[in-house]
Amino acid sequence: MSEELGEREKEVLRAVVQEYISTGGPVGSQQLTRRPGFEVSSATMRNVLADLEELGFLEKPHTSAGRVPTDQGYRFYVDTLVKLKDPTPRDRELIHAGLAHEADLAEMLGEASRILHSLTRHAGVVVAPRPESAVFRRIEFVRLREDRVLAILVGQSGQVHNKAITVEFPITSDELLKASNYLSELLREVPLESARERIRAEMDQEQALYNALTAKALKLGAAATDLASTERMLIQGTGSFFEQPEFADVERMRALFRALDEKHKLLSLLDRVQVANEMQIFIGAESDFSAAGDVTVIASPYGNQEQVLGTVGVIGPTRMDYRRVIPLVNFTAQVLSRVLEKV
């Protein structure tokens, strides 16, 4: 499709996208001819706009005289025309300062989503590492109440997974400590995806091979390593959509929040970024998730030298400042990866 566009058409498309991102209103020919660099008449500009509309890059909303970009127009702009802006020194400092002082991985990921929301005014999203991707370092148990215990699993790369467990047998604080020490030794350097299998193998041994305390420890370990329901995705700033005129329509907003509630779709989309191991940009109907509205997802993988661990990004309207947002997401992922190397 790019071969169908001459330099004038490309510059006009770039101008329409940037003008629409800036104003939020349909862009007309006279509006464009007033921009520096276009030494053409309004009639010539109208012809170029009509050609871009016929090719599917622009469309007229309702009966407006102006035009707005389509998903195809945004895609061509992002892939070919956008001139990215490096994060400002202030933005870089905010990202460095926010991520470097967090010792706990969960807090670090929460801070990454908060920072991206703060800097872009779009929803910040982070996908935590899959529990099974971690290599086991230790486990600790904290009593919440008589029949409830919090299991804290710590991975070799600093990943922390918490799981509340209902305990159906009496166990003292001293026994919890001994269970922690026993399981930490049993599972040392075992991938979490194999930890539950290791525990089950121990439980299948003859009853005479272990005492009552070991039996309790193994039951606790089996419950703690059942991480299928662990929450992996954190989103901050969804209220930012209310600030965008595109979502003033109640039904469109309802559709968007229904999509956000169906977290498995968004998680599946973001996992594709992790598999691709490179930044991905999903515009409008390019994904099952964002088909609910005029939404773009920009996400980049993060990790350490050994592996990709998760995804960080933003969710916002297709009318977002791609020039600024793309580098911010990319830089946040880079800083997060560097910090994780030191954990």
Domain at 324, CATH number: 3.30.450.40
Could you give phi then psi for residue 55, rounded to 5 degrees?
Answer: -80, -5
What pLDDT is stored for residue 59 in this prediction?
92
Same domain, 315 and 239: yes
CA gyration radius, the chain: 26
Segment 327-342 mean pLDDT:
91
Q: Is the dihedral of CA 70, 76, 81, 86 positive or negative?
A: positive
Separation CA 41–CA 308 (nearest Å): 52
Segment 253-271 mean pLDDT:
80
Same domain, 125 and 237: yes
Chosen domain end from 202, 224, 246: 224
* Among candidate residues 195, 80, 91, 68, the one with its CA nearest the CA of residue 135: 195
Give the H/E segment covering residue 126. Answer: strand 123-127
Chosen domain end from 203, 224, 245: 224
Could you give phi then psi for residue 257, rounded to 5 degrees?
Answer: -70, -25
Same domain, 215 and 296: no
Same domain, 122 and 243: yes
Same domain, 115 and 242: yes
Per 3-state DSSP, the chain is made up of helix, strand and coil in percentages (nearest 5) of 55, 20, 25
- Count CA within 13 A, CB hemisphere, residue 127: 28
Same domain, 218 and 244: no
Same domain, 209 and 296: no
Separation CA 175–CA 266 (nearest Å): 41
Segment 5-27 mean pLDDT:
92
117-142 pLDDT, tens digit per residue, is 999 999 999 988 776 556 778 889 98
Q: DSSP states of 282-313 as a string?
A: EEGGGSTTGGGTTEEEEEEEEE-SS-EEEEEE
- pTM for this predicted structure: 0.74
Range of the domain at 161: 132-224
Confidence check: pLDDT of 230 > 50: yes
Identity of the amino acid at 249? D
Same domain, 54 and 184: no
Residue count of the chain, please give it.
343
Highest mean pLDDT among 63-67, 109-113, 147-151: 109-113
Number of neighbouring beta carbons within 10 Å of residue 205 = 11
Answer yes or no: are the C-beta atoms of 307 and 321 closer than 8 Å: no
What CATH number should be reported for the domain holding residue 151? 3.30.390.60
Chosen domain end from 224, 243, 266: 224
Highest mean pLDDT among 32-36, 110-114, 226-230: 110-114
DSSP reduced 3-state for 140: strand
Same domain, 114 and 158: no
From the centroid of its chain, how far is CA 55?
Answer: 32
Separation CA 276–CA 125 (nearest Å): 18
* Among candidate residues 165, 148, 11, the one with its CA nearest the CA of residue 81: 11
Number of domains in the chain: 3
Same domain, 262 and 171: no
Confidence of residue 65 (pLDDT cuts 50, 70, 90): confident
Q: Is the dihedral of CA 139, 142, 143, 147 positive or negative?
A: negative
Q: Spell out a b/e string for 225-262, using b for 16 or more CB atoms within 10 Å of the CB, else e.
A: bbbeeeebbbbbbbebbeebebbeeeeebebbeebbee
Same domain, 294 and 208: no
* Among candidate residues 188, 125, 199, the one with its CA nearest the CA of residue 153: 188
Same domain, 95 and 239: yes
β strands within the chain, DSSP E: 58-59, 68-69, 123-127, 136-145, 148-155, 160-166, 233-236, 280-283, 295-303, 308-317
What CATH number should be reported for the domain holding residue 70? 1.10.10.10
Q: Which two tokens stand for residue 190?
A: 């075992």
Confidence check: pLDDT of 330 > 90: yes
Confidence check: pLDDT of 208 > 50: no
Crossing angle (nearest 10°) for helices 322-342 and 105-120: 160
Q: Which two tokens stand for residue 268?
A: 């599946």
